[in-house]
Structure 1
Amino acid sequence: MRDADTLPDDDDELFEHHRIVADPKQSLLRIDKFLMDRLPNVTRTKIQTGIHDGFVRVNDKAIKPNYKIHPNDVITVSLPEPPRDTDIVPENIPLNIVFEDEHLLVINKPAGMVVHPAYQNWNGTVVNALAYHFQNLPQMQGNEGRPGLVHRIDKDTSGLLVIAKDEISLSGLAKQFFDHSIERTYNALVWGVPEPAAGTIHVNVGRSLKDRRVTVAFPNGDMGRHAITHYKMLRDFRYVSLIECKLETGRTHQIRAHMKYIGHPLFNDATYGGDQILKGTTFSKYKQFVENCFEAIPRQALHAKTLGFIHPVTKQFLQFDSALPQDFMDVLDKWENYVKYN
């Protein structure tokens, strides 16, 4: 079962990874417990997430996590990427290391770089670089092929990542992420000006039932996973605004889905509709200006700016801050000048 935080980039086809036929004398048993005994290195949480996301089917039908296996049931586990071994090819890719000691390191990932190998992105990732620069990085159970990783950020999101260099750091950091005690803030440029200027979005998010590549909000709370984002506006550019988002949970595409839910998609976020003019008129001069801004930052305007955690070994609280990358700064300057003279 794959990591719940991974998304396919641009292909919604599913590939069968496992097919299991229940014994004719199989006793009634919950599907998650049944699969835990048959899938190596897969946690119950990942199995339940896979069921929620529609990757697990019984007799070619979607089921609920409390479904009980019957004799002769055919269980299939299908994922968006084809099966592949977990061998990592070391690649001499420079890493922007912000901090490093014998136990862990913090890097500043550029936009456009994938964190770990996955379908259509087997090379050129952070993990390929780590395999070249560091030997024998630890891996979490059920997370083979992703040495040192305890979290990730999207390909086109820039910013800070912490990497574990030994088992004690891996388990210690993983527990802090699980407990939501990691402090993380992001800067995002969004369409419109949020009202109120600061607030909390406490709405479940999960994969869209229509398109698994997209995360959507489930305000009724009947689907998806618990998700909390705190936001506050930093700068008002009339048509767009710079906001800070503090994550209390870390779901796939959480900020992108939450901001779209409240009507303020991230600027130039093609997946969530932010690559269209959503505020202001469409007269030619303004339209050309916005298109120039899209060219200046050809990705969603999202940066993982700060990261704070307790060092798993020294127990010291560490906090890191990263400057906005040049493309982000350029587009902010453009908007500042536009609203100043128009």
Structure 2
Amino acid sequence: MKDESSKKFKVSNKSDGERLDVFLSGRLKISRSQVQKLIKGEAVFVGNHKPRKTGEIVKEGTVIEVMELQRTEVIKERSYEKTNLEVEIIAETDDYLIVNKPTGLLTHPTEAEEGESLASWILENYPKLKGVGEYDNRPGIVHRLDREASGLLVVAKTQKMFEFLKKQFKNRDVEKEYSVLVHGVVESDHEMIDFDIDRGRDGRMASRPKTDKLSLRTIMKLQPGKESLTEYWVEKRFARFTMLKVKIHTGRTHQIRVHMLAYNHPLVGDTLYFNKKLNLKRDIELGRLFLHASRLCFADFSNEKVCFEAGLPDELERFLVVLK
């Protein structure tokens, strides 16, 4: 028997043919793993039947219903794993903390990814931050970096600062710059990549068009997805690689990785979006994603702009020396 407290979603023409778990993940704003638990827990109805598979294909016009009671049961506070990784503190005030996240460290644990995280490091070293923010498993964390990336993150030490920073991120007032190495020789010294990003049917983020650079300008306006803006400047060209300074003006999941792949210049060391069969010897030698958050600027409570910088980690510097 269905619970009266539920959410219903009607499959649109655009979503026709999507996987059920991908469809619900986007609408419930939870991970695919959480959705899969709901489906396996018989909390989801496709029309009048319970789906047998989490990857069932949804059809246009079908009504998908999710039981609210059982949905809340899968969204629980996660336990923390102690981290043995060192996190460099770049700056600290009474209101915020600037850290240099190393590669391999999650910003915070999720249903899809578990393990050592910056969140657990914060609770170990700053236990008073528990309760700061919107979620207990993200103490003071306003934004995030991919696990494979490294670089600067700001952590709020008070709820007042958390809300203050959150508003700046929402209004796109925060400046974020990244040091990136991509495959191939990028021709244009400066470019704004502005085609949309959406979640693909396989659950990964996707940009349209994928590799059609020649007709990029005319095609991108016709594609579905969310507005995404990535600006880059060429800093150095190598024989088969290019070093870029990248600034993102929106905050989409995996934005730089997806945009550069679509621009036909995938990031070095990106095993998620750059097909492993195509990965060259250099990617294997590097052993990590060449994506580093090198500069971060925002306003403090006095409305003065404050900026912080973090140089490349040693392993990335050594890799560039080899390329030379």
Smaller-chain TM-score bracket: 0.7 to 0.9
1:317 is aligned to 2:318: no
TM-score by length of 1: 0.70
**2:246: which partner in 1?**
245
User: Distance between the aligned counterparts of 2:58 and 2:283, measured in 1?
Assistant: 40
The Cα RMSD (Å) is 3.3
Q: In 2 relative to 1, CA 302–172 (structure 1 residues): closer, same or farther, beyond 3 Å?
A: same
Instruction: Write out the 4+ residue segments of structure 1 that deviate beyond 6 Å after TM superposition.
Output: none
**1:37: which partner in 2?**
none
Partner-residue secondary structure (3-state), 1:306 = strand
**2:94: which partner in 1?**
102
**CA shift at 1:104, angstroms?**
0.6
**CA shift at 1:161, angstroms?**
0.5
Aligned with residue 169 of structure 1, among 161, 166, 173: 161
Partner-residue secondary structure (3-state), 2:312 = coil
Please show how residues 1-342 of structure 1 align to structure 2 within 5 Å.
21-22=3-4, 48=27, 50=29, 59=47, 62=58, 74-75=65-66, 83=74, 85-89=76-80, 91=82, 93=84, 94-119=86-111, 121-137=113-129, 138-141=131-134, 143-209=135-201, 211-212=202-203, 214-218=204-208, 219-220=220-221, 222-273=223-274, 275=276, 291=281, 293-311=282-300, 313-336=301-324
Q: Contact 1:150–1:173 (CA<8 Å) still a contact in 2?
A: yes
User: Distance between the aligned counterparts of 2:46 and 2:114, measured in 1?
Assistant: 30
User: Distance between the aligned counterparts of 1:234 and 1:20, measured in 2?
Assistant: 59
Could you report, residue by residue, the CA deviation over 1:153-185 in whole angstroms, capped at 9, with x for unpaired residues? 001101001001111110011111111111001
Number of residues of Structure 1 aligned to a counterpart in Structure 2: 275
Q: Contact 2:82–2:121 (CA<8 Å) still a contact in 1?
A: yes
**2:54: which partner in 1?**
none
Q: Contact 2:81–2:117 (CA<8 Å) still a contact in 1?
A: no
* Unaligned ranges ≥5, structure 1: 1-18, 33-45, 279-289, 337-342
TM-score by length of 2: 0.74
**CA shift at 1:30, angstroms?**
7.8
Q: Contact 1:301–1:328 (CA<8 Å) still a contact in 2?
A: yes
